[in-house]
Structure 1
Amino acid sequence: MKLKKFMFMVIMAALAVVLAACGGDKENSTETGNKGAGESRTFKISHVVQESHVWNATAVKFGEELEKLSNGRMKVQIFPASQLGTEADMVQQMETGAVEFAFLTNAYMSTREDSLNSWFMPYLFNNLDEAVAMRESEEAKEMLASLSSQGLLGLDFMFAGNRHVLMKDGFAETPEDLKGKKIRIIGSPAMQSYWEKVGAGPTAMPLPEVYTSLQTGVIDGIDIDLDALVTEKYYENAKYLTLTNQMTFPTVIVMSQSVYDQLPTEDQEIVKQAMKTAVDWGVQEAVAREKANLETLKSAGVEVLEEIDTTPFQAVSNEVKKEFSDKSEIVKSFIETVESK
């Protein structure tokens, strides 16, 4: 009996040593695994355009960069074409942290932040390259910083191209060609003001309604960028495209501030670096697509007027610039910076 009791005590003591050693190894492993790294997670990204659009391609690129920089810990799931609701819904979801990232149209966001109307000042940019160059400007950084009051972290601006006019009947060379015409716009204070002053009837409507509205004659034309024109196939219902270049069209890339604040510092830096790399790639892709999309439209039988004299639009342009410069010092400074180059 004594021998059995002695052997039992020896076995229990040995077992305790083994368990202690295993516990120590586990503790050391946990500490090593957590050094400078956050948890594995999948972020949700929402936007309004189709999967073939350059904004979605940029979101995909961001996911690739994020996964690479985080050694696979961080991934993204993209919800295109308003799958999670309207842009107002997206902002609300970001406020609660239900969605972490969004590519929001500058048009919608300009209804929430006056300074974002800077991008929609008429005939400020001759081409997309000039607009892209202002992405790194102090004014652009101020615009992004202003979004913090809405619980959003402004990360960057990405572009779809400049805005042009597609009409069912004839080109848009002068304000007279547009007078009384129902032109679909995406809701924005600056866009609304411009088209009203031109003499057209600006009609705000979401993308999913535009195709049938053109088809049935509810609208006479649209204010559109070439990438959306190609991906949404609006040219099937209207054949006259005037390259007016009256405005550029960015997306404002934002992240939920509350989600960002919860990330470890290293992960915050990974997010910012991955997004910058993705947008650096995306803006060049947008410039390349501007040319490729034009060729696609010509091949599809669209009549294209590539150059117009913008002088007849100058008076309206000046009125809009003054209107919004009076509302925002950032808008005023943005215009001055571009026009001084």
Structure 2
Amino acid sequence: MKKILPAAAIAATILSAGAMPAWADMDPVNLRLAHVVNEQDGFHAAATKFQELVSERSDGAISVEIFPNATLGDERTLLEGMQIGTIDMGVITNGPVSNFVEDIAVFELPFLFPSRDAAYEVLDGEIGQELLDRLSEVNLKGLAYAERGFRNLTNSEHAVNTPEDMDGLKIRVMENPVYIDTFRALGADAVPMAWTEALTAMQQGTIDGQENPVNVVYSFKLNETQTNMTMTRHSYAPALFVMGMPIWNGLSEEAQEIILQSARDAAQYERDLNAAQEDEQLQALRDSGMEIIDDADLSAFSAAVEPVYEKYGSQFGDYLPRIREQLN
């Protein structure tokens, strides 16, 4: 696990004894942090916590302006903006990040992680840090892993208990080949599209369903268009605090340390929040009339996606065997 430092400890690492705070003479820094979900979502909670922490730890010298609801573009657009310096940073789902560093998609292979703690062990260890560091290859700075969480299937047509029940369902997936092939292996008509487009498509009935963690289903009120949810927990999706290298390289070492540690702390805050809220959110969805299936035949789902491992298992270098070795 990452070592979480309190604000006082951070200050101690960047101040010499008896000196004025290192940020006392710092030019004010205003960061524009964007994400694509609404203010009820865990991403926004993580962003808000980050905003609070950097302000507190820099005595207001670093401020963060948050742009939710895809106001600055979808996740791919945000990452491209970070690369060229038109957007400073964001909280971004792992799937779109893998379009820039393909190996990071290894985390989202279906049924790879048996639990949150197993995922955290890998993400917060050597493998996770290695992949965060590799974002520098594409002019991005990986700061920390927050989370989207374990993803589950929803649809507006009928209950899904086995892969056979998915035959012909039009399911929105992220624009990521692992997700596309996973749902094709399960028998669905996988439809890759940006999240903002998916919301409209569900309302209009041009797609039947989608797959996302409970917190997304709840915060976006998907129960209003989706009558069924199956707790497939088919993939654990990290999310990343990401910054563009142009802005990162322009910061002082003191500012970089504050931003890095605050991102780690905010990511941990969001993980804890998601875990605490999931049961309450599930009950609210049940109370709204959504049918939630928590006893689906997951062994059949796992067997059905074996072709995904045959296709992609060797495409992530040595990351998959290293992850499996760490988990065993």
Common fold by TM > 0.5: yes
2:205 to 211, 217, 240: 217
Question: Matched residue of 2:153: which SS?
Answer: strand
List aligned pairs for 1:134-153, cutoff 5 A.
Answer: 134-153=122-141
1:258-310 per-position Cα deviation (integer Å, ceiling 9, x unaligned)? 22122121111111111111112111111112222212211211111112222
Q: Which runs of 5+ in 2 are unaligned?
A: 1-18
Letter in 2 for 1:147: L
Q: Give the corresponding residue for 1:87.
A: 75
Cα displacement (A) at 1:141: 1.1
* Residues 188-229 of structure 1, C-alpha deviations (whole Å, 9 max, x = no match): 111011111112110112223333422333112211211111
Bigger shift: 44-53 or 304-313?
304-313
Deviation at 1:117, TM superposition (A): 1.3
Partners of 2:25 and 2:266 in 1: CA distance: 22
Partner of 2:219: 231
* Poorly superposed stretches of 4+, deviation over 3 Å: 31-37, 126-130
Residue 152 (structure 2) pairs with residue 164 (structure 1): yes
Answering whether residue 315 of structure 2 is matched by residue 327 of structure 1, we say: yes
Cα offset for 1:93?
A: 2.1
Q: Which amino acid aligns with 1:175?
A: P
> 2: distance between equivalents of 1:211 and 1:256?
28
Instruction: State how far apart, in whole Å, the 2-side matches of 1:297 and 1:70 are.
Output: 41
Letter in 2 for 1:312: A
- Partner SS for 2:305: helix
The secondary structure found in structure 1 opposite 2:100 is coil
Shift of 1:51: 1.1
> Are the aligned partners of 2:155 and 2:229 in contact in 1 as well (CA < 8 Å)?
yes
Give per-residue Cα distances to partners, 1:59-111, cap 9 Å, x unaligned.
11001110111011111000111111122321232123232211122111112
CA distance in 2, matches of 1:251, 1:187: 15
Indicate whether 1:303 and 2:291 are aligned. yes
Alignment partner of 1:289 out of 237, 260, 277: 277
1:177 aligns with 2:177: no
With over 3 angstroms needed to count, the CA separation of the structure-2 counterparts of 1:266 and 1:37, relative to structure 1, is farther
- Say if 2:145 and 2:241, in contact at 8 Å, map to a contact too: yes
| SS of alignment partner, residue 104 of structure 2 | helix
Provide the C-alpha distance between the structure 2 equivalents of 1:216 and 1:198, rounded to a whole number of angstroms.
24
Q: What is the identity percentage for the equivalent residue pairs of Structure 1 and Structure 2?
A: 26
Q: 1:40 is matched with which residue?
A: 28
Letter of the structure 2 residue corresponding to residue 38 of structure 1? M
Give yes or no for contact 1:128–1:287 (8 Å, CA) kept in 2: no
Partner of 1:202: 190
Shift of 1:33: 7.9
**How far apart are 1:40 and its partner, in Å?**
1.3
* Structure in which a larger fraction of residues adopt helix: 1
Alignment correspondent of 2:7: none
Counterpart amino acid of residue 204 in structure 2: T
In structure 2, do the counterparts of structure 1 residues 120 and 217 end up closer, same or farther at CA, with 3 Å as the change threshold? same
Q: Distance in 1 between matches of 2:279 and 2:194?
A: 26
Displacement of 1:135 in angstroms is 2.2
Aligned to 2:179: 191
Count of aligned pairs: 310
**Which residue of structure 2 lines up, in the alignment, with residue 110 of structure 1?**
98
Task: Report the Cα distance in structure 1 between the residues aligned to 2:55 and 2:151, rounded to whole angstroms.
Answer: 34
Change (3 A) 1:334 1:100: farther
- Alpha-carbon RMSD: 2.0
